[in-house]
Structure 1
Amino acid sequence: MHKTHKTKGSSELYIGLMSGTSLDGIDAGLVDFSDGRIRLLAFHYQAFPADLRQQIHRISQPGQPVLLEDYGALDAQLGCLFAEAALALLDKAQIAPSAIKAIGSHGQTVYHAPAGCHGFSLQIGDPNRIAEITGITTIGDFRRRDISVGGQGAPLVPAFHRAVFAQTGQTTSVINIGGIANISILRHDSVLGFDTGPGNTLMDYWCQLNTGLGYDAAGAWAGTGRVDADLLKQLLDDPYFRQPPPKSTGKEYFSPAWLEQKIACYRYCKAEDIQATLCELTAGSIAGAVLEHAADSTQVLLCGGGVHNRQLMAGLAKRLAMPLLSTEEFGIVPDHVEAMAFAWLAKQTLHRLPGNLCSVTGARVPVVLGGIYPGR
């Protein structure tokens, strides 16, 4: 039996649903925005079955043909799974669906290619099904409206980072390390943000290929290898890292094919040495972005799954002199940040407020993001 959550004044409860480029599962966060505060009331994680991960991976491979019937079926299946995650979250919190203003569902990105006059970013996880199954108004398809006004459609979390982590009179950098890593640079009068490059995606791929495991837990395998300096230099010499912001990227660019091409002349390297080098690639590209664009940062806040990789954290600490802090020290567990961000973006949309930052995405104007699918 659901209990109805009670707050002082008008209730402002939203759910954020997030599935990132690591393809591990769905993060669901219940967020209370009542009285101008931002509080996480409950969190639920729902892992993807292995066969579903394979389907998503297959459908999102660059250059590969996709059958529309497979695309449509996976879109519907994921919509049902996102809805199940939202209902499981409400059951855990003992809150009725009728108490929720809206769900913000990021969906699962299957292709991100924002460049050019016909640029796009495509997420699946049918919001119609989420709205129908839960009965809750659902907001989805957040990225394409920003692209329609010349933006990258990503990253979208810096606006939320500003709302929760900005420090008066200080420059704070927030690093989110998912499959792709992104940075938010919060100054007293401006916000800059962009994708720094690969986060976990290449490490996950190489670990799966060579060990059969989905990821390198705590960076333990990378810790057994030695960084190949020549290979690292070759990886960091990619033009993306020199490209000025605004910029965004994805697994379409930093793909298995990209890695295989880069390591073609380094077959003498042991598999664990390549893993160690990929870990340093992520650390080096993130640190390079901080030093080039936010060297005045008084602190760097870290969130996303990459914070659990001790080898990666050590690589960042070696390269950056400023304090590296978990977002948990500011009240938000690193694994919860993105789900909360899409609850916040849903609130922005429902209140007809812009969700993008032109200084981040390069959009010509601020816009209200996403489509609204009314609940019952």
Structure 2
Amino acid sequence: MPELYIGLMSGTSLDGVDGVLAEFDSSSCQVLAHASAPLPANLQAELLALNQPGLNELHRAALAANALMQVYADVAQQLLAATGSTFQQIIALGAHGQTVRHQPHIHGGTGYTIQLCNPALLAELTGINVVADFRSRDVAAGGQGAPLVPVFHQAVFGHLGETTAVLNIGGMANLTVIGPELSHDVMGFDCGPGNVLIDTWCQQQRHQAFDAGGAWAASGQIHAGLLSTLLAEPYFALPAPKSTGRDLFNPAWLQTRLTRHPGLAAQDIQATLTELTVRACAECANSYALNSKSILVCGGGAFNQHLMQRLQTLLPQFTVQSTAAHGLPPLQVEAAAFAWLARKAIRREPLALQNITGTPGARIAGGIFPA
């Protein structure tokens, strides 16, 4: 009997909320509808500010979580309307929330990860069972808590007998490598910044949300000195498993490095930031995915033609292509992943993340908030 789930995702890019309504059976995942909504400007600014220490954080974070749930609920209603479904037909809704801090393995050894979310409010607003808080159990068990999507990539993109690589370029970039033995052979980790620095610089200099198609970056020249300074960040040399976020790659990190190279043209900085993402991803693919023939790209980065062209140039041994060529458009992948993760939690099926987050054993991810 097919089962209906909703997945809702607001990522590090802070560009909005993506949602899918997906139908699952024993062997497949089919997206029946996709919807999205931008974040209101004041909420986007507050979520960005909450990535750094500030005044009255607890109060502000609670209000921001409530406001975010209103956007989540609106996207869920769009999905129901688009498919003619009722809330009673949905088994559960997987809500990721908005990551504002990600600091595993520190502060006494366990660390923490924080996603702003009010799943109880979302259950009230939608009348649907909500699964949320997907990352904290993995961190408590000794894992990184991120990335989680590689196990979903394995389920939908893996092919028995061949190695498959999936590159998600959202705010951060993460790589999944699925081996030929699908039952257990998967690894994944964060490569480094995806769109986060590219978008930040574009917003600061051009007052545009993002560099459409990478056209502005393509108009500039890569500055070798700045690129070398950026790539000297110790994170890039860490072995997998590893994860990162705005705690590290943020405007202050960028500004500190820009001061070492004064006088650069804005478009040259944009070209160099785009190349940073490309080089970080290419290095990971060359180190971990050499047995794969292709790299499937999802996330907003899949629409940056300049970035995709640079990836193909640096990775001639791979075919670099969008996940759309394999049945799931780039902007639907993460939302579908959280619908899939919600189903796993409802069914009490643990996730084997040992080669992804480094957790020592399989754990059930997500807390359930009944409607």
Q: Same fold (TM over 0.5)?
A: yes
Q: How does 1:297-308 map to 2 (within 5 A)?
A: 297-308=292-303
Who is 1:249 aligned against?
Answer: 244
2:57 is equivalent to residue 57 of structure 1: no
| Native 8 Å contact 2:171 2:195 kept in 1 | yes
| Native 8 Å contact 2:130 2:369 kept in 1 | yes
| Native 8 Å contact 1:349 1:355 kept in 2 | no
CA distance in 2, matches of 1:204, 1:130: 29
SS in 2 for 1:98: helix
1:105 maps to which of 95, 117, 123: 95
Deviation at 1:355, TM superposition (A): 3.0
Deviation at 1:35, TM superposition (A): 4.7
1:330 maps to which of 292, 309, 326: 326
Q: Residues 312-366 of structure 1, C-alpha deviation per residue, up to 9 Å, x if partnerless?
A: 1111011102111211111000110000000000000000001351110000111
2:123 is equivalent to residue 131 of structure 1: yes
CA distance in 2, matches of 1:265, 1:191: 40
CA distance in 2, matches of 1:43, 1:356: 28
| Native 8 Å contact 1:12 1:33 kept in 2 | yes
SS in 2 for 1:112: strand
The percentage of aligned residue pairs carrying the same residue is 44
CA distance in 2, matches of 1:66, 1:256: 22
1:129/1:333 CA distance change after superposition, 3 Å = same
Who is 2:174 aligned against?
Answer: 182
CA distance in 2, matches of 1:245, 1:162: 18
Who is 1:38 aligned against?
Answer: 29
Who is 2:57 aligned against?
Answer: 67
| Native 8 Å contact 2:110 2:142 kept in 1 | no
Task: Report the count of equivalent residues.
Answer: 365
TM score, norm. by length of structure 2: 0.96
2:84 maps to which of 91, 94, 115: 94
2:14 is equivalent to residue 23 of structure 1: yes
Given residue 89 of structure 1, which amino acid in structure 2 is its aligned partner? Answer: L
SS in 2 for 1:81: helix
Runs of 4+ in 1 over 4 A off after TM superposition: none
Q: How does 1:76-91 map to 2 (within 5 A)?
A: 76-91=66-81
Aligned CA-pair RMSD: 1.1
Q: How does 1:149-188 map to 2 (within 5 A)?
A: 149-188=141-180
Deviation at 1:84, TM superposition (A): 1.9
SS in 1 for 2:36: strand
Deviation at 1:125, TM superposition (A): 2.3
Unaligned runs of 5+ in 2: none
| Native 8 Å contact 1:59 1:66 kept in 2 | no
Q: Residues 233-270 of structure 1, C-alpha deviation per residue, up to 9 Å, x if partnerless?
A: 11112111110011000011011111111111211210
Given residue 353 of structure 2, which amino acid in structure 1 is its aligned partner? Answer: L
1:204 maps to which of 196, 199, 202: 199
Unaligned runs of 5+ in 1: 1-9
